[in-house]
């Protein structure tokens, strides 16, 4: 396609998406006010940005950040730490904190994301080594398989019901918070009294409510995804019921000190500022995702979510069909990145993944998927998974480059 054709195609689809864009603006406004209210309630001041050293005794920045996050999630408590290195780490920490030897977990969204598989069944440091087992019930179409879930809960004693909000590398759509409410009600009606846990990665601020506001007991995620707003430099969070947060803090440090200590000499300004910016940044990423879906769908490519359908996380898959097109798609994203634009990406054996992965990640924060990035396992049907975008305009520029190469 030439540049004039590309411009016309993008403009046409932007006009067709006006209704969806307006809806997303409403969600962004609601979430921005929610975050602002949490800041005001906790009387955030410049002193909260100061770093500490050593034990971090009486670290008001650390302790108040936890309260702000808890208010945003509508949760009893929250663990927020720069020493949680990724979403996988946050989820793993939550699982090892809550689950005890010999207990069982029921995953109601099928097998978890690739990087979680070794946490579950990956040798002597895995949950399996502690005799903790997972049972999997895949989704039934776009919803939970209530019949199988009910039967499983009646036949077995489970300590945790596990769900993954985002799709990972699966073909399915992300799970909306609205669908989580009937799930939590159904699970409780079956007599389940354990922990309902949600992997919340890629989902924060996509909707007006978070899972912890509809009956989910515990969520975990990464600060270099949605909720960090693109500028939080590192970290992760776990939010939910106080009893589970107490266990997570004790696991992160030790039972004798739990959440009472922990310093961060660089300070907390970017943690607070990133959270404040996050609703708007997520809005930009979602608009970019909608545009990519509409344009690529018009050109005949299969995308999930479907073209013009509202997304429930910041990721989108585009089925490229063959390896050559897949590499062109991902290399285009790298080429228009603000960092490492000169790098030509190639497949490699990335830690935690079953297949070779090709990844475009020219980000200011290393690995930040709220920044425009794209990755794919090198396997059929050669889906490109594109996510993020600090600005909508950056996503448009990337889409132009993609179209010029295909």
- Residue 302: CATH number of its domain: 3.90.1150.60
DSSP assigned state of 128: G
Tell me the per-residue pLDDT of 59-84, one tens digit each, with 9 for 90 and over.
Answer: 999 999 999 999 999 999 999 999 99
Continuous segment of H or E residues that includes residue 11: helix 3-16
Which residue among 218, 234, 267 closes a domain? Answer: 267
Question: Within this chain, do residues 290 and 217 fall inside the same structural domain, yes or no?
Answer: no
- Total domains in the chain come to 2
Q: What is the domain extent for residue 140? A: 51-267
Question: Within this chain, do residues 244 and 287 fall inside the same structural domain, yes or no?
Answer: no
Tell me the per-residue pLDDT of 24-67, one tens digit each, with 9 for 90 and over.
Answer: 999 999 999 999 999 999 999 999 999 999 999 999 999 999 99
143 part of a folded domain: yes
The stretch 261-280 carries a mean pLDDT of: 96
Question: Within this chain, do residues 123 and 24 fall inside the same structural domain, yes or no?
Answer: no
- Burial environment of residue 143 by CB neighbours within 10 A (0 to 12, 13 to 18, 19 or more): exposed
Q: Angle of helix 3-16 relative to helix 269-298, nearest 10 degrees?
A: 110
Question: Within this chain, do residues 56 and 18 fall inside the same structural domain, yes or no?
Answer: no
Question: Within this chain, do residues 149 and 176 fall inside the same structural domain, yes or no?
Answer: yes
Question: Within this chain, do residues 220 and 323 fall inside the same structural domain, yes or no?
Answer: no
Residue 306 · residue 379 · CB < 8 Å: no
Question: Within this chain, do residues 315 and 244 fall inside the same structural domain, yes or no?
Answer: no
Tell me the per-residue pLDDT of 146-161, one tens digit each, with 9 for 90 and over.
Answer: 999 999 999 999 999 9
Question: Within this chain, do residues 223 and 285 fall inside the same structural domain, yes or no?
Answer: no
| C-alpha–C-alpha distance, residues 149 and 163, integer Å | 12
Residue 379 · residue 233 · CB < 8 Å: no
pLDDT at 170: 84
pLDDT at 123: 83
Looking up residue 139, the CATH number of its domain turns out to be 3.40.640.10
Question: Within this chain, do residues 345 and 399 fall inside the same structural domain, yes or no?
Answer: yes
């Amino acid at each position: 396609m030439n540049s004039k054709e590309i411009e016309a195609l993008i403009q046409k689809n932007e006009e067709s998406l006006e209704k969806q864009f307006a809806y997303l603006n409403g969600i962004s406004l609601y979430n921005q006010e929610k975050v602002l209210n949490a800041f005001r309630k906790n009387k955030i001041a410049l002193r909260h940005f100061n770093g500490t050293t050593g034990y971090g005794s009486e670290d008001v920045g650390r302790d108040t950040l936890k309260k702000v996050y808890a208010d945003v999630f509508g949760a009893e408590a929250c663990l927020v730490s720069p020493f949680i290195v990724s979403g996988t780490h946050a989820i793993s920490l939550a699982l090892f904190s809550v689950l005890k030897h010999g207990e069982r977990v029921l995953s109601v969204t099928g097998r978890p994301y690739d990087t979680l598989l070794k946490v579950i069944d990956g040798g002597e440091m895995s949950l399996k080594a502690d005799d903790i087992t997972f049972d999997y019930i895949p989704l039934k179409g776009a919803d939970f398989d209530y019949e199988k879930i009910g039967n499983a809960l009646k036949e077995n004693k489970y300590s945790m019901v596990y769900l993954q909000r985002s799709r990972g590398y699966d073909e399915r759509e992300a799970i909306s918070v609205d669908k989580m409410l009937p799930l939590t009600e159904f699970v409780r009606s079956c007599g389940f009294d354990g922990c309902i846990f949600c992997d919340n990665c890629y989902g924060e601020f996509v909707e007006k409510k978070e899972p912890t506001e509809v009956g989910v007991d515990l969520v975990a995620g990464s600060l270099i995804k949605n909720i960090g707003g693109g500028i939080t430099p590192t970290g992760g969070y776990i939010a939910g019921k106080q009893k589970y947060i107490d266990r997570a803090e004790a696991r992160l440090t030790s039972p004798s000190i739990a959440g009472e200590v922990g310093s961060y000499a660089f300070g907390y300004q970017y943690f607070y500022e990133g959270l404040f910016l996050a609703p708007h940044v997520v809005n930009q990423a979602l608009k970019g995702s909608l545009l990519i879906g509409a344009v690529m769908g018009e050109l005949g490519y299969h995308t999930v979510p479907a073209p013009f359908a509202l997304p429930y996380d910041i990721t989108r898959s585009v089925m490229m069909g063959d390896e050559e097109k897949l590499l062109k798609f991902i290399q285009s994203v790298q080429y228009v990145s603000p960092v490492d634009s000169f790098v030509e990406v190639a497949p490699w054996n990335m830690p935690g993944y079953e297949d070779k992965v090709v990844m475009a990640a020219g980000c200011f924060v290393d690995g930040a998927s709220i920044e425009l990035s794209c990755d794919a396992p090198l396997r059929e049907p050669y889906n490109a998974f594109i996510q993020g975008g600090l600005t909508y305009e950056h996503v448009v520029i990337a889409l132009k480059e993609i179209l010029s190469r295909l």
